[in-house]
Amino acid sequence: MSEIILLSPPLVDSDVSSLKAGDKVLVSGTIYTGRDAAHKRIVEALAEGKEPPFPLEGAVIFYVGPSPAPPGRVIGAAGPTTSYRMDAYAPTLMEHGLKAMIGKGKRNDEVKQAMQKNKAVYLAAIGGAGALMARCIKEAEVIAYPELGPEAVRRLVVQDMPLFVVNDVQGGDLYQQGRQAYARQ
């Protein structure tokens, strides 16, 4: 098994260029959340020349729609949502400096090519492990589109969020490699 790599956003090219599909990483620092509806609005804002709701340069985005925070907690369960719904928007965000996406499930070829071109990576969180992920989240604040409820954009401060590199900047894909290694006949 590979050693654990620590990442702290905002990320620069050298942070992500050395990552390989299959690496385990721990992310600590400020990241942002967004799902389908928020992505649509961010991409529309960029097309109109407006400022996005958070600085995209070096940013890490987590595809999550958390459950409501119980009393005394900063956030509810916060596991990743399925990423393919964000595929239509992801290349635009990478062109504007996005360096890492956190989600679960496959990305399309266009997104994988955009990762290679823009030096960005796709990191998988364990799907469904919402209570475990919530423990890594120390602060949470809605910063845009509050009317979207669970889909609002949040700024999170996370500590040691455990993730796997799925797609790297060289075109590596852990979903394909992992499957090939264990497929039988």
Coil/strand/helix, residue 172? coil
The span from the CA of 185 to the CA of 167, in Å, is: 25
Of the candidates 76, 92, 116, 119, which one interacts with other proteins according to CB under 8 A?
76
Select from 68, 110, 138, 143 the one that contacts other proteins (CB under 8 A). 68
DSSP structural state of residue 183: -
Query: Binder to other proteins among 50, 117, 138, 179 (CB under 8 A)?
Result: 179
Among 92, 105, 119, 157, binds other proteins (CB under 8 A): 105
Work out whether 82 is an interface residue with other proteins (CB under 8 A).
yes
108 binds other proteins (CB under 8 A): no
Distance of CA 103 to the CA centre of its chain: 5
127 binds other proteins (CB under 8 A): yes
* CB atoms inside a 10 Å sphere around CB 134: 20
Exposure string for 166-184, b = 16+ CB within 10 A, e = fewer: bbbbeebbbbeeeeeeeee
The residue from 26, 45, 126, 157 that contacts other proteins (CB under 8 A) is 126
Q: Give the nearest distance from C-beta 18 to other proteins in angstroms.
A: 20
For residues 56 and 61, which CB has a smaller minimum distance to other proteins in the complex? 61
89 in contact with other proteins (CB under 8 A): no
Q: Which of 104, 137, 154, 172 binds other proteins (CB under 8 A)?
A: 104
Calpha distance 102→8 (Å, rounded): 14
User: Closer CB to other proteins, residue 106 or residue 155?
Assistant: 106
Distance CA 28, CA 63 (A): 16
Residue 59 contacts by C-beta under 8 Å, 6 or more apart in sequence? 9, 10, 11, 31, 32, 97, 98, 99, 100
Give the residues lining the site for other proteins (CB under 8 A). Answer: 1, 22, 37, 64-70, 73, 76-79, 81-82, 84, 104-106, 124, 126-132, 134-135, 149-150, 162, 164, 174-175, 177-185
